[in-house]
């Protein structure tokens, strides 16, 4: 069985730490080349990996008969690269956010549908064992009916400059961090949220917001999301309250109770020993990035369009973020970012 030929666009840390190694390790894929605009970086990565490097995605696509294109570039570049890839019949793994606006995301999803290629957006959370387990518990209605959900996602300000240029990023921390949580919310609360409130703040003198709060309603279930770029090692936490119990989780720990009976996991695992005064858990060596790339590779190799988060999920996520910006009174027009009328109704 021949392996699928993979090209990786953008040779930042995400590509060199995860995409290139993960596609190289997977038995059904092999990396044949990469594209990187920065000459020094391109030469360094070419020397390090032994792969041919190209100055842009078009050159990479022209030079190889690719089956898969993996996109690790800033958001504003996703659409043209994505459209070119699906035009060549490539399956596409695209880092989040899929696009800087819902309109852009929609064009990408439509093109992928028409081409019949496998797509996935790089949402990470669901590939942590704790999230897999929590999604199973919720899918089995262990908490009864969901009463409310609270999400907090705080992370250190990114080092790359493009994050702070709305023309390249499509927004600030809301566009950057909320997609991971929204993907999980869509998974267990259904497809049709309404933005009921949203606000943004500028904690530092930046062109984009670095703090945002969004309130959603999924079929009557209120959800609150709070996200910031602040000096922290990073925390991303869900708390779900149901009529019969609750659970709270981040990537490390999942705990909760049902009718007062507690459960707890770390890295998706039960303790190896429960001493009463302490639960002892095994070391957690999970690698969610590799897991998501391998999951996409499995789907691409099987021609299975039903990935965990196809481009249509990227559209739904972008619609919520567009609506949140609109509700918060943020207009990226004039900043170079494309604007687009959101489908999702905004409450204010």
Q: What is the DSSP string of 245-304?
A: EEEEE-SSEEEEEETTEEEEEETTB--SEE-SS-EE-------HHHHHHHHHHHHHHHT-
**How many residues bind other proteins, per CB under 8 A?**
24
Q: How far apart are CA 137 and CA 139, in angstroms?
A: 6
Q: Which stretch binds other proteins (CB under 8 A): 115-123, 174-182, 227-235, 255-263?
A: 255-263
Tell me: does residue 219 bind other proteins (CB under 8 A). no
Choice from 233, 272, 285, 306 touching other proteins (CB under 8 A): 272
* Sign of the torsion angle spanned by Cα atoms 263, 214, 186, 188: positive
Tell me: does residue 255 bind other proteins (CB under 8 A). no
Tell me: does residue 44 bind other proteins (CB under 8 A). no
| Rg of the chain on CA atoms, in Å | 20
Tell me: does residue 258 bind other proteins (CB under 8 A). yes
Choice from 270, 302, 331, 333 touching other proteins (CB under 8 A): 270
Tell me: does residue 243 bind other proteins (CB under 8 A). yes
* Cβ 33 vs Cβ 44: under 8 Å: no
How far apart are CB 273 and other proteins at their closest, in Å? 5
Q: Is the peptide bond before 323 cis (omega within 30 degrees of 0)?
A: no
Q: Which stretches of the chain are assigned E, i.e. beta strand? A: 4-9, 29-35, 53-54, 68-71, 91-94, 119-121, 146-155, 193-201, 211-218, 221-229, 235-242, 245-249, 253-258, 261-266, 273-274, 279-280
Q: How many residues does the chain have?
A: 348
Q: How far is CA 148 from CA 15, 126, 141, 225, 245, in A?
A: 37, 19, 14, 11, 11
How far apart are CB 43 and other proteins at their closest, in Å? 48
How far apart are CB 283 and other proteins at their closest, in Å? 15
Bridge-based pairing state of the strands 91-94 and 68-71: parallel
Tell me: does residue 43 bind other proteins (CB under 8 A). no
CA dihedral (57, 63, 69, 72) in degrees, to 10, reads -40
Residue closer to other proteins, measured from CB, 222 or 271: 271
Choice from 56, 110, 113, 244 touching other proteins (CB under 8 A): 244
Tell me: does residue 271 bind other proteins (CB under 8 A). yes
Q: Which stretch binds other proteins (CB under 8 A): 46-54, 222-230, 254-262, 310-318?
A: 254-262
What spatial distance separates the first Cα and last Cα of the chain, rounded to whole Å?
A: 56
Tell me: does residue 259 bind other proteins (CB under 8 A). yes
Residue closer to other proteins, measured from CB, 274 or 345: 274
Q: Which stretch binds other proteins (CB under 8 A): 1-9, 77-85, 165-173, 270-278?
A: 270-278
Tell me: does residue 205 bind other proteins (CB under 8 A). no
Residue closer to other proteins, measured from CB, 5 or 138: 138
Tell me: does residue 283 bind other proteins (CB under 8 A). no
Closest CA to 154 of 250, 269, 246, 241: 250
Residue closer to other proteins, measured from CB, 37 or 269: 269
What x/- string results for residues 111 through 150 when contact with other proteins is judged by CB under 8 A? ----------------------xx-xx--xxx-xx-----
Q: Which residues lie near other proteins (CB under 8 A)?
A: 133-134, 136-137, 140-142, 144-145, 243-244, 258-259, 261, 263, 270-277, 279
């Amino acid at each position: 069985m021949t392996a699928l030929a993979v090209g990786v666009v953008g040779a930042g840390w995400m590509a060199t730490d995860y995409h290139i190694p993960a596609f190289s390790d997977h038995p059904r894929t092999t990396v044949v080349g990469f594209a990187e605009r920065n000459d020094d970086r391109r030469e360094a990565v070419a020397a390090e990996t032994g792969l041919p490097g190209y100055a842009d995605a078009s050159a990479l696509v022209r030079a190889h008969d690719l089956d898969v294109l993996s996109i690790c570039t800033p958001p504003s570049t996703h659409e043209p690269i994505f459209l070119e890839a699906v035009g060549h019949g490539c399956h596409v793994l695209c880092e989040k956010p899929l696009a800087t606006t819902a309109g852009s995301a929609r064009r990408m999803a439509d093109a992928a549908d028409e081409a019949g290629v496998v797509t996935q957006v790089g949402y990470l959370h669901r590939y942590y064992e704790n999230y897999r387990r929590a999604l199973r518990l919720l899918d089995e209605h262990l908490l009864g009916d969901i009463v409310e959900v609270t999400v907090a996602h705080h992370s250190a300000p990114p080092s790359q400059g493009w994050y702070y240029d709305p023309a390249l990023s499509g927004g600030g921390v809301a566009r950057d961090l909320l997609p991971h949580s929204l993907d999980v919310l869509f998974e267990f609360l259904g497809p049709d949220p309404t933005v009921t409130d949203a606000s943004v703040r500028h904690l530092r003198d930046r062109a984009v917001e670095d703090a945002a709060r969004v309130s959603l309603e999924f079929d009557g279930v209120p959800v609150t999301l709070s996200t910031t770029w602040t000096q922290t090692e990073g925390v991303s936490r869900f708390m779900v309250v149901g009529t019969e119990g609750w659970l709270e989780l981040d990537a490390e720990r999942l705990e909760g109770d049902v009718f007062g009976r507690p459960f707890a996991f770390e890295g998706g695992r039960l303790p190896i020993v429960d001493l009463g005064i302490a639960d002892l858990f095994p070391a957690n060596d999970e690698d969610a990035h590799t897991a998501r790339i391998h999951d996409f590779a499995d789907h691409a190799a099987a021609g299975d369009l039903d990935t965990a988060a196809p481009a249509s999920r990227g559209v739904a996520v972008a619609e919520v973020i567009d609506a949140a910006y609109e509700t918060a009174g943020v207009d990226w027009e004039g900043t170079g970012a494309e604007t687009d009328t959101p489908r999702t109704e905004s409450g204010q």
